[in-house]
């Protein structure tokens, strides 16, 4: 039943976009699979849209007791603050300690992994003792030869570098022991002149969790009882997506200033209260010059 609820919540996942005037940059020109050309009006054809450029992302969810795993694709606009809201997540995800979520973002990130291996090296040894006597070693029978090689084994470090999409580490949503829940996740995507070079969970930055009531896998969380999940309203999992770095036109991204951890610097609202019932208030304030469709 839980798995079914997760599934229902998941297929209903909506991507809501905010409409901020910003300079749109091209994404990295990569995607998470082949682009089908036989589909009209499909999200796979999103690149045909002329007005904005999109980047593909995948949001994964796994319930490790039922084995349920699914993903959905979405396409945030570059340098626009995006909120993903997962309806019914109050039931299926928010109080479920077995659920992890993670994201995959197209890019060409290098990941280097290290390994050790047993290597042979030639170690030169002198053909003479300290007292000048020559060794009785076949390599040293020629009096003109000063050294000979001995093969030894040493452990060496090797490395492999792979290029691929950026996969953020899975994060738990609920911690039964703390009775706490992460009710919003923030992903920051790093751009270098319009190309995605990296992405992180906002909470994975150093000390990012220090102002939070609770902390789960490094992300800001709140007491489950504070979220009003029994009432419904404020208790739906949200994922904020913001952009940092320089866009295609070398203009600094502005959406990074709107993530909750930055926003809190300019606000009397504490981080722990953001994303409870106060989210629409939050959006109003960051974006009060237009009719924001977000009511996350
Ligand atoms: C499933 O998640 C729970 C809660 O985090 C954890 O204790 C358990 O080890 C996980 N099991 C597997 C098979 O990953
Ligand atoms: C990713 O970057 C590396 C190093 O710059 C490059 O060799 C490789 O071709 C790139 N891969 C793609 C798919 O762009
Ligand atoms: C390395 O390989 C040699 C030859 O097989 C072996 O004698 C030696 O114990 C190995 N060293 C290590 C650290 O495994
Ligand atoms: C000197 O030479 C002899 C071989 O004639 C050798 O056995 C001995 O170890 C050498 N070394 C020293 C320090 O005497
Ligand atoms: C000893 O090993 C080194 C490095 O492998 C090599 O250049 C040299 O020719 C070797 N010397 C002898 C005497 O085999
Ligand atoms: C990775 O291995 C190469 C040789 O294969 C070496 O030149 C390079 O320095 C290594 N990189 C790191 C970070 O260790
Ligand atoms: C967690 O909080 C809920 C709501 O306040 C409460 O009903 C439940 O008993 C708590 N669970 C634990 C393990 O403390
Ligand atoms: C979950 O939220 C929905 C609104 O999205 C609400 O109708 C429902 O009653 C809530 N369920 C629980 C168990 O809180």
Mean pLDDT for the chain?
A: 70
Confidence class of residue 252 from pLDDT cuts 50, 70 and 90? Answer: confident
Residue 96: the pLDDT is: 87
Query: Higher model confidence: residue 173 or residue 231?
Result: 173
Phi, psi of 261 (to 5 degrees): -70, -30
Confidence class of residue 38 from pLDDT cuts 50, 70 and 90? Answer: very low
Ligand 4 centroid from CA 235, angstroms: 84
Q: Is 217 helix (H, G, I), strand (E, B) or coil?
A: coil
Query: Higher model confidence: residue 191 or residue 41?
Result: 191
User: How far apart (Å, rounded) are the C-alpha atoms in residues 106 and 195?
Assistant: 10
Q: What's the chain's Rg over C-alpha atoms?
A: 27
Average pLDDT over residues 125-142: 89
187: pLDDT strictly greater than 60 = yes
Ligand 5 centroid from CA 158, angstroms: 23
Residue 262: the pLDDT is: 67
Average pLDDT over residues 127-151: 90
User: How far apart (Å, rounded) are the C-alpha atoms in residues 131 and 272?
Assistant: 78
Is residue 132 in contact with ligand 4, taking CB distance under 6 Å? no
Chain-centroid distance of CA 124 in Å reads: 50
User: How far apart (Å, rounded) are the C-alpha atoms in residues 18 and 258?
Assistant: 12
Confidence class of residue 156 from pLDDT cuts 50, 70 and 90? Answer: very high
For atom 3 of ligand 5, the residue with the nearest CA is 122
18: pLDDT strictly greater than 50 = no
Burial class (CB in 10 A: 0-12, 13-18, 19+), 177: exposed
Cut 0.75: pTM above it: no
Q: Determine which helix (DSSP H) or strand (DSSP E) holds 285, and give its type and residue range.
A: helix 279-286
Query: Higher model confidence: residue 145 or residue 212?
Result: 145
User: How far apart (Å, rounded) are the C-alpha atoms in residues 73 and 56?
Assistant: 7
Neighbours of 2 (CB within 10 A): 17
152: pLDDT strictly greater than 90 = yes
C-alpha pair distances (Å), 280 with each of 203, 277, 291: 22, 8, 12
User: How far apart (Å, rounded) are the C-alpha atoms in residues 261 and 69?
Assistant: 29
For strand 68-74 and strand 214-216, is the pairing parallel, antiparallel, or unpaired?
A: unpaired
Ligand 8 atom nearest to CA at 235: 2
Query: 181: which strand partners?
Result: 174, 222
Is residue 122 in contact with ligand 5, taking CB distance under 6 Å? yes
Average pLDDT over residues 146-163: 92
Q: Which two tokens stand for residue 131?
A: 């007292």
124: pLDDT strictly greater than 90 = yes
Q: Which two tokens stand for residue 282?
A: 């939050």
Query: Higher model confidence: residue 287 or residue 218?
Result: 218
Range with the largest mean pLDDT of 39-43, 67-71, 208-212, 248-252: 67-71
Rounded to whole angstroms, the maximal C-alpha distance in the chain is 94
Average pLDDT over residues 14-20: 32
For atom 11 of ligand 2, the residue with the nearest CA is 108
Going by C-alpha positions, the residue among 185, 199, 197, 190 that lies closest to residue 261 is 185
148: pLDDT strictly greater than 60 = yes
Pocket test for ligand 8, best of 87, 90, 237, 277 (most atoms within 8 A of CB): 90
Angle among Cα 206, 101, 253 to the nearest 5 degrees reads 55
């Amino acid at each position: 039943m839980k798995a079914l609820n997760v599934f229902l919540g998941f297929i209903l996942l909506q991507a809501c976009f905010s409409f901020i005037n910003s300079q749109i940059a091209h994404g990295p020109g990569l995607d998470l699979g082949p682009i089908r050309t036989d589909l009209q009006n499909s999200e796979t054809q999103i690149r045909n849209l002329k007005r904005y450029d999109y980047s593909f992302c995948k949001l994964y969810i796994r319930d490790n007791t039922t084995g349920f795993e699914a993903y959905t694709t979405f396409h945030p606009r570059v340098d626009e603050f995006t909120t993903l809201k997962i309806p019914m997540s109050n039931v299926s995800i928010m109080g479920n300690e077995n659920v992890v979520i993670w994201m995959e973002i197209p890019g060409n990130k290098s990941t280097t992994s290290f390994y050790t291996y047993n290597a042979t090296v030639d170690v030169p040894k002198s053909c003479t003792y300290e007292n000048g006597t020559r060794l009785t070693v076949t390599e040293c029978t020629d009096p003109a030869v000063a050294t000979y090689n001995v093969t030894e084994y040493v452990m060496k470090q090797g490395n492999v570098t792979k290029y691929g999409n950026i996969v953020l580490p899975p994060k738990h949503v609920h911690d039964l022991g703390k009775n706490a829940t992460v009710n919003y996740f923030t992903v920051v995507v790093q751009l270098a002149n319009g190309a995605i070079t990296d992405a992180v969970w906002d909470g994975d930055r150093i000390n990012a969790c220090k102002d939070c009531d609770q902390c789960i896998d490094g992300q800001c969380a709140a007491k489950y009882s504070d979220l009003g999940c029994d009432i419904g309203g404020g208790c739906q999992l949200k994922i904020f997506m913001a952009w940092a770095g320089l866009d295609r036109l070398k203009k600094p991204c502005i959406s990074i200033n709107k993530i909750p951890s930055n926003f809190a610097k300019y606000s009397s609202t504490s981080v722990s209260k953001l994303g409870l019932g106060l989210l629409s208030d939050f959006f109003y304030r960051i974006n009060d010059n237009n009719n924001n469709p977000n009511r996350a």
